[in-house]
A and B are shown apart, each in its own frame.
Chain A
Amino acid sequence: MSGRHRQTDVAEVPASSATRRIRLSIIAAIIGGLALVLVGRLAFIQLVMHDHYRGMATEEHWRQTAVPPRRGDLLDTTGLPLATTVTYESVYASTSEIRSPSVTAAALTPIIGGDPTALTTLLSKKRTAPTLVQRWLAEDKANEIKKLALDGIFLQLEPKRVYPQGALGAQILGVVGVDNNGLSGLELRYDRDLAGKEGSVVAERDTGGSAIAFSPQLYQAPIDGEALTLTIDRYIQWVAERELTAAVKAHQARGGSVVVVEPRTGAILASASLPTLNPDDPDLYSAHQVALYGIPAVSRALEPGTIFNVFTVASALDAGEVTPQTTFYNDGTLSYVGVTITDAKPHAPGPMTVLQSLAFSSNVGASWIGTKIGAYRYYQSLSRLQLGRQTGVDLPGEVDGLLRMPTDLDWSAIDLATNSSGVGLSVTPIQLAAATAAIANDGISAKPFIVRQIGSLASTQLNRPEGGAAIRPEAARALTGMLQAIVDDQTTIEGRLAHVPGYALAGKAGSAVIPDSTSSTQTSAVATFVGFGPTERPRFAIVVQIEAARDGVSPDEITAPVFNAIARQILNYYQIPPSRPVAANGT
């Protein structure tokens, strides 16, 4: 039994040993294979993919953060800020960290306002990127939120463009988008100078994403935007806006513009328009507000009407065709190339001087003068006065207006007669201001401009081109005398409403009837006044334009008082003493 058993054992041992050896070999081969795979993988990662993983590790620990530059300020001519950038705290939510959106919303809404349900919905949307809850909080509100220490709610510093003077010069200054890019006005025109250049910081970050102090950092400082010093005088701008607003309101007008220019240099001292935008309006980017982004003083060209007689007379005096006392017979009508031109206001037929024709705003007189000059000289003269073409002012959206030249295919001979009385053409208020300033400046025209300086005092001062001769000095002085005589004459509207006692001012009111933009059948009046003063040494030229007044007052009687009010306050502001005796009652 035992022997058989032993035999059996002997026979079985080699079999099991071989099996075990095979099994062990298989296991060893598998382990060896796996080890080889692991070694191979390790070698692949360490040797082949070395740069890739090194880059990933660097990205994990080192992060580049943009350092935004500060947008440059817009300063008035005295250095007071009209637009500046102020940092505020904005509240953001990391929605993935908020456990109960409704509780968080209930805690936030008493501070930031708004609808708790809407905020709950906003906070319930789980996003990886931070969600903006409210931008630019006041300091007290930000502090209240900090005290709450809500999970997933954090505050972030963000710059905001602010306008310390409110809506003063809003259209001129322009609008900045939430991404700090200029959208209109000077903010758009000088965006490159104002925006500056973004900097960056590359630093080792901790798990919270904050830069590790004293670790090596690569810092590239941002270049802040340059401040722009404007020619706009805060006080004159404010006066212009106040008087324009009062007139538009009093006469129920659709809108209007006022431009004040320094005749000698072309510097724009004020440019006001109505309707205007409110830069503090929460709906600043709505379609209604966007429609007001333009600057009507440079972008809205209207038919000038009888105010254009001033420039027709300027052209005739420059050509030497007339003098203020040149007389012609005016029976109220003028036939020219088969077309009859009539005076708008009735008068007795008889001789009329050029001065009387200008004071009376005679269409017949202006057309007679225009035809006397001839097309070539007339349009050359208008072009030199910067009428009917862009002045090149440094504001966006400037238009040419409409002034057909004899070389244009659509020009006809009658255009000379109609254009002379301000019909069949359109000009912008800035063109009228530039032409008026040229007359005030002894016939030398200066290109209007609004940015006096870019950057600090030490940096570049803008070189302004020298003005060109628009009309002869003798012609300019003769016209100044005529315009002064109109304002000094107490029988004229200008004399009654635009005259400032003690001062020699020059000016003229005029109007045009144009098709109403809101109706295809109705017309509306555009009232314009151009003037300057003091005539001995002009310091300002003013253009007042009021559109579609609905209270029935004569257009000339609307603009003259606005000129008077602005001129009076500028004279006082500049402390210009009267050049003529003033009675005790101020007359």
Chain B
Amino acid sequence: MRPPAKAPPRDTWLSGHASSGIWRRRIVISAVLLLAAPLSFLYLNQTSSLAAAGYDVAVLENEKKLWQMRNEQLRLQVTQLESLDRIDRLATTKLGMGPPQHPIYVNAPSAPLPPPPSPQVKPTPTPSSLVSAVLERLSGSP
């Protein structure tokens, strides 16, 4: 008599299914973690980079304002150096100049100016003259 087929232990059968589910779950969780970790890292990195860039932008904007301020101040300095009071002071004290007393106006000649010399440019051959030149060459005429 054939011994009755030994049924697999109930718990083993169950545990086999359970373990595969657990493994599947573990694999999924691991995969999710593996994906999430770099994604989180990327996100954090992006966020911190953005914050740092924002800070840099603020610093640069402030720097821009300071350069604009310096630019305005330099323009003012240029205009102040061009002021008539300063020019007059320098002209009279340093250069020994004074206001013109008897300016002399000279009449410019009213005669018309001579025409400009004509340029010596070789005339460009026109298409018709070019054709005739080729024909002359071919025919051997001078």
Q: List chain B residues, Cβ under 8 A from A139.
A: 70, 73
Q: Are A586 and B102 in contact, with the CB atoms below 8 A? A: yes
Partner of A88, one of B54, B69, B83, B105: B69
Q: List chain B residues, Cβ under 8 A from A86.
A: 69, 72-73, 75-76
Q: Are A89 and B58 in contact, with the CB atoms below 8 A? A: no
Q: Does B23 contact A (CB under 8 A)?
A: no
| CA distance in complex: A515, B101 (Å) | 40
For chain A residues 148-190, which have a beta carbon within 8 Å of chain B?
157, 162, 164-166, 168
Q: Are B84 and A569 in contact, with the CB atoms below 8 A? A: no
Q: B103 to chain A: closest CB distance in Å?
A: 6
Q: Are B84 and A238 in contact, with the CB atoms below 8 A? A: yes
Minimum CB distance partner of B87 in chain A: A238
Q: Are A165 and B83 in contact, with the CB atoms below 8 A? A: yes
Interface stretch among A210-218, A386-394, A399-407, A485-493?
A210-218
For chain A residues 85-105, which have a beta carbon within 8 Å of chain B?
85-89
Q: Are B50 and A214 in contact, with the CB atoms below 8 A? A: yes
| CA distance in complex: A210, B54 (Å) | 10
Q: B137 to chain A: closest CB distance in Å?
A: 62
| CA distance in complex: A577, B106 (Å) | 9
- How many chain B residues touch A (CB < 8 A): the figure is 26
Q: Does A235 contact B (CB under 8 A)?
A: yes
Q: List chain A residues, Cβ under 8 A from B85.
A: 165-166, 168, 238
| CA distance in complex: A482, B53 (Å) | 80
Q: List chain B residues, Cβ under 8 A from A577.
A: 105
Q: A575 to chain B: closest CB distance in Å?
A: 8
Q: Are A214 and B54 in contact, with the CB atoms below 8 A? A: yes
| CA distance in complex: A250, B128 (Å) | 86
Q: Are B83 and A578 in contact, with the CB atoms below 8 A? A: no
| CA distance in complex: A486, B112 (Å) | 42
| CA distance in complex: A166, B86 (Å) | 10
Partner of A572, one of B72, B83, B103: B103
| CA distance in complex: A86, B82 (Å) | 17
Q: Are A80 and B79 in contact, with the CB atoms below 8 A? A: yes
Q: B120 to chain A: closest CB distance in Å?
A: 41
Q: Does A84 contact B (CB under 8 A)?
A: yes
Q: Are A586 and B79 in contact, with the CB atoms below 8 A? A: no
0/1 string, B72-107, CB within 8 A of A gives 1 = 110110011011110000000000000111110100
Minimum CB distance partner of B104 in chain A: A582
Partner of B100, one of A165, A213, A214, A572: A572
Q: Are B69 and A157 in contact, with the CB atoms below 8 A? A: yes
| CA distance in complex: A213, B79 (Å) | 37
Q: Are B84 and A582 in contact, with the CB atoms below 8 A? A: no
Q: Does B57 contact A (CB under 8 A)?
A: yes
| CA distance in complex: A439, B54 (Å) | 68
Given contacts A139-B70, A238-B84, contact A578 B53 (CB under 8 A): no
Q: A206 to chain B: closest CB distance in Å?
A: 9
Q: List chain B residues, Cβ under 8 A from A264.
A: none
Q: Does A81 contact B (CB under 8 A)?
A: yes
Given contacts A86-B72, A162-B76, A214-B53, contact A582 B102 (CB under 8 A): yes
Q: Are B102 and A166 in contact, with the CB atoms below 8 A? A: no
Q: Are B100 and A81 in contact, with the CB atoms below 8 A? A: no
Minimum CB distance partner of B83 in chain A: A165
0/1 string, B34-72, CB within 8 A of A gives 1 = 000000000000000010011101100000010011101
| CA distance in complex: A95, B59 (Å) | 25
| CA distance in complex: A88, B84 (Å) | 25
Minimum CB distance partner of A159 in chain B: B72
Q: List chain B residues, Cβ under 8 A from A211.
A: 58
Q: List chain A residues, Cβ under 8 A from B58.
A: 210-211, 213
Q: A323 to chain B: closest CB distance in Å?
A: 36
Minimum CB distance partner of A211 in chain B: B58
For B53, B68, B72, the residue with the greatest tally of chain A CB atoms inside 10 Å of its CB is: B72
Minimum CB distance partner of B107 in chain A: A577
Q: Are B65 and A84 in contact, with the CB atoms below 8 A? A: no
Partner of A212, one of B54, B99, B102: B54
| CA distance in complex: A319, B53 (Å) | 82
Q: List chain B residues, Cβ under 8 A from A84.
A: 75-76, 79
Q: List chain A residues, Cβ under 8 A from B53.
A: 213-214
Q: Are B80 and A213 in contact, with the CB atoms below 8 A? A: no
| CA distance in complex: A86, B68 (Å) | 10
0/1 string, A289-331, CB within 8 A of B gives 1 = 0000000000000000000000000000000000000000000
| CA distance in complex: A398, B99 (Å) | 35
Residues in chain A within 8 A of chain B (CB atoms): 80-81, 84-89, 139, 157, 162, 164-166, 168, 210-214, 234-235, 238, 569, 572, 575, 577-578, 582, 586
Question: What are 29 A-B residue pairs whose CB atoms fall within 8 Å in the complex?
Answer: A86-B72, A86-B73, A87-B65, A87-B68, A87-B69, A87-B72, A88-B73, A89-B69, A162-B76, A164-B79, A164-B80, A164-B82, A164-B83, A165-B79, A165-B83, A165-B85, A166-B85, A168-B85, A210-B58, A212-B54, A213-B50, A213-B53, A213-B55, A214-B50, A234-B84, A572-B103, A577-B105, A586-B101, A586-B102
Extra inter-chain contacts (8) besides given A84-B75, A165-B83, A214-B50, CB under 8 Å: A81-B79, A85-B72, A86-B73, A86-B75, A139-B70, A210-B58, A214-B57, A569-B99
Closest 9 CB pairs of A and B: A213-B54, A164-B79, A577-B105, A586-B102, A87-B69, A213-B57, A86-B72, A238-B84, A86-B76
Residues in chain B within 8 A of chain A (CB atoms): 50, 53-55, 57-58, 65, 68-70, 72-73, 75-76, 79-80, 82-85, 99-103, 105
